[in-house]
């Protein structure tokens, strides 16, 4: 199971704190939550201009919980992001073209209430799908178990698509998600609120 620590912060101090803690965690990726305060109630600090020097050799994944991803995505790609996730709920209204992502991977994210079938028409171009398992914007929420049925449905539909789960994750949730067909777990509170973040990260990777 691939595990990606998530940084979901409202100010620069919080971001720097988590980047420092990340140094002890052997993660290949780091996930940034970017919220504009419109698509979600929360608003995060947009940090993309400082990425290359502060995340080390880790690859950056950015989850755009914003109304206008076409304005945010190019800046993150220019800063070195290797994966950009935009929400399928607004994909038809924005001008960002999947074909334009030649330097990074493009994926689609779904809100908890969005039917899994919404993403099916895009599977010929998009090979990475994220299920948001909590209401968007705030860390520390409880995992919504109906997401497991959506993971199973998507896996049955497409055996090779990469499925990521974000929100409310712990080692038990990671096990359930893996059995349902997920490949990747994103975790914020479970890792950062643990007195030993590296151990929490390791427990997620061991999930069977």
| Catalytic one of 11, 46, 158, 166 | 166
| Catalytic one of 24, 33, 36, 46 | 33
**Annotated catalytic residue 124:** no
Cα(15)–Cα(50) distance, integer angstroms: 11
| Alpha-carbon Rg for the chain in angstroms | 16
Supply the DSSP symbol for 43. B
Contacts of 148 (CB under 8 A, 6+ apart): 176, 177, 180
Cα(109)–Cα(89) distance, integer angstroms: 8
Contact predicate 87/111, CB 8 Å? yes
**Annotated catalytic residue 33:** yes
Considering Cα of 177, then 160, then 126, then 3, what sign does the dihedral take? Answer: positive
Question: Which residue numbers are catalytic?
Answer: 33, 166
């Amino acid at each position: 199971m691939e595990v990606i620590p998530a940084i979901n912060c409202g100010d620069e101090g919080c971001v720097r704190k988590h980047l420092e803690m990340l140094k002890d965690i052997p993660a290949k990726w780091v996930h940034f939550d970017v919220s504009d305060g419109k698509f979600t109630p929360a608003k995060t600090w947009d940090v993309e201009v400082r990425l290359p020097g502060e995340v080390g050799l880790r690859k950056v994944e950015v989850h755009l919980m914003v109304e206008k991803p076409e304005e945010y995505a190019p800046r993150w790609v220019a800063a070195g992001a290797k994966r950009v996730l935009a929400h399928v709920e607004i994909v038809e209204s924005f001008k960002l073209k999947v074909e334009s992502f030649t330097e990074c991977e493009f994926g689609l994210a779904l809100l908890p209430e969005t039917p899994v079938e919404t993403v099916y028409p895009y599977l010929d171009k998009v090979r990475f799908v994220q299920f948001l398992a909590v209401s968007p914007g705030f860390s520390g929420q409880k995992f919504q178990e109906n997401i497991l049925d959506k993971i199973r449905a998507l896996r049955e539909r497409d055996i090779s698509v990469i499925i990521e789960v974000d929100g409310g994750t712990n080692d038990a949730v990671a096990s359930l998600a893996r059995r349902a067909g997920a490949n990747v777990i994103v975790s914020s509170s479970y890792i950062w609120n643990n007195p030993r973040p590296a151990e929490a990260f390791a427990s997620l990777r061991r999930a069977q």
